[in-house]
Amino acid sequence: MSNNKGAFYTREYRNVFEELGHSEEEINKRVNDTFNEMFYGNEDTRIYYPSGEEYAYMVDTGNNDARTEGMSYGMMMCVQMDKKEEFDRLWKWSKKYMWHESGEYAGYFAWSCNLDGTRNAQGPAPDGEEYFAMALFFASHRWGDGPEPLNYSTQAKEILRACVHKGEDGIGNPMWEPKNKLIKFVPESLFSDPSYHLPHFYELFSLWANEEDRQFWCEAAAASREYLKIACNPVTGLAPEYAHYDGTPETTRGHQHFYSDAYRVAMNIGLDYEWFKADEWEIEEANKIQSFFANIDDINEYKMYKIDGTPLEEKALHPVGLLATNAMASLAASGENAEEVVRKFWNMPLRTGVRRYYDNCLYFFTLMALSGKYRIW
């Protein structure tokens, strides 16, 4: 690796595509063109839709709804790409239609809405809240705070306060388990989702959240890094979609296998290593995941897997996303497969059609990360 310390300390971000011989001009064009396809392309490609004069939403094209996952992902893409208008539109839509002003979910966001803003569910999904908060902090630092709801840093702090302190008055539940500092699958649950664990975000929350919560976020970052070690299989590196706090797969809901949610673990490990280089285990983990998939040349052959690597009958629903996240792991990986999977990713186009949303969100995060453009602001 090029630095002894992560980009948080050095302010230097690896451009893996440049390391493999692509020119800066070629890389910049690829990133900009991909953003424009996803936000302003044709109806077989785009997932961003303006609504009226000041709102916009990201569509989960497979389910025809807007989710906190996608809205917060879109905001992260926009702040990284310096697209303030699109960012503000997404945030205003999220705050108007998804945010709970009162009740047991006060301060949280309803995880799924119809495209007219009516809610499909009232409950939140914690991965949305953590991405909302991080994107808002970055927006504050990049563009400055404006009038409510564009007082980005205040909004971010309020989200994180709810995530930590909800339930202390007897109403609702926190999004992190207070006893072990691990993020929950949903506030009411007693288990986690390994792909929700973003220690690189928590490190930054420990600097920017409300002062009384900063120690909590320090401990959450350390707890998440340790949790991933017990949730990921020691041989294959594969994680289940849901797992108990002791790392064992959560079996009662049928999400104990390596499937769609779990792809993001590789992505998160890559970015955590790039930003902080806090744990050399992430190198081993990235190498294991890449090694497991190294001999599968056709992404259409990807399947659902038990975490011990046993293939199941069901095919991967998001093969483009799976290859993308495995490529993003190259920010940590040191093995012989790291370059090859990045080459495969570079040669792979965006997904088109009904199932494009999740694949292409992961695709764009990977494109930004491997070009050195997924940055701490």
User: If we measure between CA atoms, which residue out of 199, 214, 121 comes closest to residue 161?
Assistant: 214
Q: What is the C-alpha separation between 244 and 164, in angstroms, rounded?
A: 19
Q: What is the C-alpha separation between 302 and 243, in angstroms, rounded?
A: 22
- Per the annotation, the verdict on 82 as an active-site residue is no
Cβ atoms of residues 233 and 308 within 8 Å: yes
User: If we measure between CA atoms, which residue out of 234, 243, 245 comes closest to residue 289?
Assistant: 234
Q: Which of 129, 261, 282, 285 is catalytic?
A: 261
- What is the DSSP code (8-state) at residue 312? E
Contacts of 313 (CB under 8 A, 6+ apart): 303, 304
Q: What is the C-alpha separation between 12 and 377, in angstroms, rounded?
A: 13
- Per the annotation, the verdict on 69 as an active-site residue is yes
Task: Tell me the backbone φ, ψ of residue 245, rounded to 5 degrees.
Answer: -65, -20
Q: Distances in Å between the alpha carbon of 204 and those of 50, 118, 207, 276?
A: 31, 33, 5, 10
Task: Tell me the backbone φ, ψ of residue 42, rounded to 5 degrees.
Answer: -75, 175
Residues shown for the chain: 377
Q: Which of 69, 129, 130, 284 is catalytic?
A: 69
Which residues does the annotation mark as catalytic?
Answer: 69, 261
